[in-house]
Amino acid sequence: MSTRISKNKIKSFGMNPARFERGQLKIYLYMIPICIIMALPILFIVMDAFKPIDELFAYPPRMYVKNPTLQNFFDLFDLTSQTNIPMSRYIFNSIMATALTVVLTIFLSASAGYVLSKKHFRFRSTLFKVNQLALMFVPVAVQIPRFFVIVNIGLQDNFLANIIPLLATPTCVFLVKQFIDQLPDALVEAAVIDGASDFTILRKIIIPLIKSPLATVAMLAFQSSWTSVEASSYYINNDSLKTFAFYVTTLSNQSGNVVAGKGISAAATLIMFLPSLILFIILQSRVMNSMAYSGIK
């Protein structure tokens, strides 16, 4: 009886149950192969880290692992115990640099977006156009000027070199500014009448209303900082200040054995990949919302 009623209700709204099911089936037929293709690299990274040496060099290569082992992780920690700088130091540097970069990028992007959106001053449009122009430059295009800036301001061989160069993110400023444009000016005007300062308006009104784009900013900042090797490669000579991402790039050379280095690199790659995956799973709903509404004014 309930099935008949539900079908009658669907028909009353002009919907055919059979057509609805066929439409859903088409969506699944499109999406399932795409999801499988996108999941293959993730599966490969996870499986590769637990493969023994003979399976890592098997031909033809296999996606799955027959005899999973933790030997690659043991070899990774044994390798770092033989050096002056333990792996835990590199991981600690990466965690500290990434955490500070994410927090500061969120604050600076929200502040810049608020000023460019709700404040009226001379050259505001010019500054925003400069930010848009900066979107066109890839990091390698500004690598040499950035090096001279870092050296001239005294950040060479300084831990801050892992943080400060990554705070200038035109993409994050542009995204946050577009969202703040959607907020009514009456909110800011009412807060000003009540005597609220700009910092109070930013902290209590703007930031709570733009959590979705700020989650995207956090994701982008985390990814750029966690995987960055630029500072450790060009600005820092002290090994105790370098990050885990840089250390991963040197594993094959440090192991002294190409065969053993393959398994060690696979284990280190999984360690590098997991934090990004976990963070995306936590923030995926807000990230998807920011992508869906970023074009609405």
Sign of CA dihedral 225, 228, 232, 235: negative
Indicate if 193 and 133 belong to the same structural domain.
Answer: yes
The amino acid occupying position 218 is: A
Tell me: pLDDT of 183 over 70: yes
Query: Could you tell me if residue 80 is inside a domain?
Result: no
Query: Could you tell me if residue 77 is inside a domain?
Result: no
The amino acid occupying position 236 is: I
Question: Contact at 8 Å (CB) between 218 and 102?
Answer: yes
Nearest-angstrom CA–CA distance, 46 and 1: 49
Q: Give the pLDDT confidence score for residue 268 in this predicted structure.
A: 85
In tens, the pLDDT along 188-213 reads 889 888 888 889 999 889 998 888 88
Q: Give the pLDDT confidence score for residue 222 in this predicted structure.
A: 93
Query: Could you tell me if residue 8 is inside a domain?
Result: yes
Indicate if 154 and 271 belong to the same structural domain.
Answer: yes
| Residue 195 in tokens | 């005597």
Question: How distant, in Å, are the alpha carbons of 125, 243, 276, 283 from that of 249?
Answer: 42, 11, 18, 28
The amino acid occupying position 156 is: Q
- Of 71, 104, 123, the last residue of a domain is 71
The number of distinct structural domains making up the chain is 2
In tens, the pLDDT along 96-123 reads 999 999 999 999 999 999 999 888 888 8
With bands split at pLDDT 50, 70 and 90, how would you rate the model's confidence at 265?
Answer: confident
* Mean pLDDT within 179-196: 88
In tens, the pLDDT along 60-97 reads 877 778 888 888 888 888 777 666 778 888 889 999 99
Give the domain extent around 91: 85-293
Q: What is the pTM for the complete model shown?
A: 0.80
